[in-house]
Chain A
């Protein structure tokens, strides 16, 4: 069975989603989704050792040899993301049963799990496939199911948010497919490895340049790179908590993965970094994303929206590593993909618990929660430390790599900007924490307690992971460094 895992981790969620669509019984669907997500996680984790020992796994779909057939290709970079996505998917499900019951209308909860599995299938597919067009198909699967996952929110504004995302997401996907169309016309192949081999002599053609531009812009929309981030805040804020926790930790990360693939493997490090203005452009946009995102976060009343803007800023840190464009900086990017997923996942889960108990996520309604929901709020404080980059948390590790990467380029000013930006985190997280701990709960308000055990425990697993992975970086940094050495080695 082991050698079939590359197919199983994509096919299993797809088939399971069909089963869920037929069964539609809430509890059963949840269980199916949980088991299948765990299977994906188990499959991904068990492939890791094999790849570290024997190198990249290439799986030929239907027995057709690449480049004609579709190839599933699992290298270190892919497995890193596969483990992340499947782990988050599993953990969010463990966390989310009560939250789904509370936030999704009765009768459509079965559909919710159907869409969840489809989305998982799409995300896993994008990562694992070695075929440019196949990646587009999976991108559409994940996006369409994601629009549904957002629109199912109780808040009617979720519909508008999903619609906004639908329009912008479709534009992004269309640009991406135009880009690969252009590349196909000059190379005659869709296999990513094959593309990487055939492109170099053709890189000065206008078709290649235009194709690259379309792909980069299209993916930037999906990534929500500033200023193409406008769909993100509303989508995160009004979606059901489980959706937010899941997509905030995975969706944008997968698009970043694809961007890294194209820039470093397909077009090649030498071309992307040295002959195009992409690094400079991404550098400016990343810095703007970091500051604009954090500054906007400071003025939000809705905590989910605040965290969404914080995500815009954090995405800026990830793309910053791409712009720094040396091994250290790129390692910082990959590590931060993982670290940000863990810490944002944790924070959204904790907020979900608050939403379940008090029914809103407005800062002003959170007065006195420090005393009444101590586990939730204490977790929130620790998550805030991580976001701030306090040493001993994951946030520090990412920042260390980005800063050293910047120094290797001689960019002292960037180090200072990087540090200044983390202070903004202190301001917006501090607002929530001050209200929760220093204001008394209004007289007559119902007495609260921490949310149900499953939610608190899962959230705390993530919070503790923020600290554990801040000290033991052998997996996050270890695998990221190996993956980077392959990427940079491919130039």
Chain B
């Protein structure tokens, strides 16, 4: 098989898997076997593609021409490789977790759940490997639509309201802002192919560049730059595995991934940092980082606090990308990776608490660390990574972003990171303190220990991943440096 066949295979495997999953609804064990098998197969195929990209290659497939000049085409560049690696790795862990969680909570309609999940992963791979704006937009929309049934999985009024907000904001922003931006780019540049150095002509008027900037940044609603962040907390009505993979990894990462890709390959770093018309992005992102952290402080619901923490962390990536220096882009790529592992650990822990203790509020968590030591240890590692303390992965991303800000003496960015680190500490550490240091207020309604073993296994794996990324960051770091044309 040629390498291009493997690229197509990576996209098709989850889709074919979805069919198998859908057709085995009556046999849960077979269905779960298909899910795990598909996830493993996808991971292997992604690993087969990896070495070529690490060595600087950019494997691609033939294009499928939809309209003249508009084609569906996969081209793998380092950033997409990072994203595909994250998504395919965490899908395996998440599948293990889902099995424990969904069965532990006796959720209904599990077949449609696993089917939509597989389609969402296929769209994520499509986004990661997209070779041009049109392909990226295509899968961006499919991802929104295929995750809607996941968000509304519970089917009650709260789920319906959350689903409306989710679909409403994501589709509105993508159709009203992102699509005109895509069409405008094709019109201005004559192409939408992602090209090193950007495709928008440097002599284009600042008004057009500024307008495209606004349309892209707010059109990519999945990146959740305020005020288009509201869908993210609303989507927390979903079952925890969905929140974990989709809203800590696939969907939100698709958003910031798109922002980075657009800045690197559509605008080009020189153009983006050289024009005044785009300098506002840093401030918009910095504002979001701080305000979302402050809102997170006031949330008692654990998943909502994590959601606002995600909003804040996503804007770190936008902030870094908007600085548009090579060092900052490396920081953005590293932060995407680190945040994915850290945040999925936190969500897994929240789901684990819910499954074992049926608790959702932070104020109920006194002393829970004694009953669920593994869960809360993993939670602590995830929290440390969010704050950026070594030896966790979060430190790396923050390090590069800080270095980039120092390099161009951007005092605003330094200020934002400094304050937000304090805020992160302020809203994560009390949870850890409650869990381990305080005693239980009242004995729980039922005796419980840890959650089912697949849940505990999954969150231990991601916590270990968060630690080992700090110790062995070679793969993402090599790719991140290749992204800006540096070798290790």
**What residues of chain A have their CB less than 8 Å away from a CB belonging to chain B?**
385, 388-392, 397, 400-401, 403-404, 407-408, 412, 415-416, 419-420, 422-423, 426, 430, 434, 438, 470-473, 477
> Across the interface, which residues of A come within 8 angstroms of B137, CB to CB?
391
Q: CB < 8 Å: which of B142, B152, B176 contacts A420?
A: B176
Rounded to whole angstroms, the CA-CA distance of A452 and B168 in the bound complex is 35
Q: Are B138 and A403 in contact (CB under 8 A)?
A: no
Q: A390-B141, A407-B184 are in contact. List 19 more A-B contacts (CB 8 A).
A: A385-B145, A388-B175, A390-B142, A391-B137, A397-B66, A404-B183, A416-B176, A420-B176, A423-B171, A423-B172, A423-B175, A423-B176, A426-B167, A430-B164, A430-B167, A434-B160, A438-B155, A472-B66, A473-B67
Rounded to whole angstroms, the CA-CA distance of A392 and B168 in the bound complex is 20
Asked whether A400 and B70 contact (CB < 8 A) given A385-B145, A392-B138, A423-B171, the answer is: yes
Q: Which 10 A-B pairs have the closest CB atoms?
A: A391-B138, A419-B176, A407-B187, A403-B183, A415-B180, A419-B175, A390-B141, A392-B138, A438-B160, A391-B141
> Across the interface, which residues of B come within 8 angstroms of A473, CB to CB?
66-67
Contact of B442 with A by CB under 8 A: no
> Across the interface, which residues of B come within 8 angstroms of A407, CB to CB?
183-184, 187
Rounded to whole angstroms, the CA-CA distance of A392 and B145 in the bound complex is 13
Main secondary structure on chain B at its contact with chain A?
A: helix
> Across the interface, which residues of B come within 8 angstroms of A385, CB to CB?
145
Give, as a whole number of angstroms, the nearest-CB distance from A463 to chain B.
15
> Across the interface, which residues of A come within 8 angstroms of B171, CB to CB?
388, 423, 426
Could you tell me which residues of chain B, from 67 to 96, have a CB within 8 Å of some CB in chain A? 67, 70, 72
Q: Are A400 and B176 in contact (CB under 8 A)?
A: no
Rounded to whole angstroms, the CA-CA distance of A403 and B187 in the bound complex is 10
Query: Which residue of A has the minimal Cβ distance to B69?
Result: A404
Could you tell me which residues of chain B, from 397 to 424, have a CB within 8 Å of some CB in chain A? none
Query: Which residue of B has the minimal Cβ distance to A434?
Result: B160
Contact of B488 with A by CB under 8 A: no
Asked whether A391 and B183 contact (CB < 8 A) given A419-B175, A423-B171, the answer is: no
Rounded to whole angstroms, the CA-CA distance of A471 and B134 in the bound complex is 12
Contact with A along B145-188 (1 / 0, CB 8 A): 10000001001000010001001100110011001100110110
Contact of B1 with A by CB under 8 A: no
> Across the interface, which residues of A come within 8 angstroms of B152, CB to CB?
438
Give, as a whole number of angstroms, the nearest-CB distance from B122 to chain A.
13
**What residues of chain B have their CB less than 8 Å away from a CB belonging to chain A?**
64, 66-67, 70, 72, 134, 137-138, 141-142, 145, 152, 155, 160, 164, 167-168, 171-172, 175-176, 179-180, 183-184, 186-187
5 residue pairs from A and B, CB less than 8 Å apart: A390-B142, A403-B183, A404-B183, A412-B180, A423-B176
Q: Are B145 and A471 in contact (CB under 8 A)?
A: no
Q: Are B183 and A471 in contact (CB under 8 A)?
A: no
Q: Are B183 and A470 in contact (CB under 8 A)?
A: no
> Across the interface, which residues of A come within 8 angstroms of B179, CB to CB?
403, 419
> Across the interface, which residues of A come within 8 angstroms of B186, CB to CB?
404
Asked whether A389 and B175 contact (CB < 8 A) given A404-B183, A477-B67, the answer is: yes
Q: Are B176 and A404 in contact (CB under 8 A)?
A: no
Give, as a whole number of angstroms, the nearest-CB distance from A411 to chain B.
12
Asked whether A397 and B67 contact (CB < 8 A) given A404-B187, A407-B183, A416-B180, the answer is: yes
> Across the interface, which residues of B come within 8 angstroms of A392, CB to CB?
138, 141-142
Rounded to whole angstroms, the CA-CA distance of A430 and B167 in the bound complex is 10
Rounded to whole angstroms, the CA-CA distance of A91 and B358 in the bound complex is 55
> Across the interface, which residues of B come within 8 angstroms of A426, CB to CB?
167-168, 171
Rounded to whole angstroms, the CA-CA distance of A474 and B343 in the bound complex is 45
Give, as a whole number of angstroms, the nearest-CB distance from A251 to chain B.
28
Rounded to whole angstroms, the CA-CA distance of A401 and B68 in the bound complex is 11
Q: Are B134 and A391 in contact (CB under 8 A)?
A: yes
Rounded to whole angstroms, the CA-CA distance of A473 and B66 in the bound complex is 6
Rounded to whole angstroms, the CA-CA distance of A346 and B128 in the bound complex is 33
> Across the interface, which residues of B come within 8 angstroms of A401, CB to CB?
67
Give, as a whole number of angstroms, the nearest-CB distance from A438 to chain B.
5
Give, as a whole number of angstroms, the nearest-CB distance from A173 to chain B.
37
Rounded to whole angstroms, the CA-CA distance of A412 and B138 in the bound complex is 22
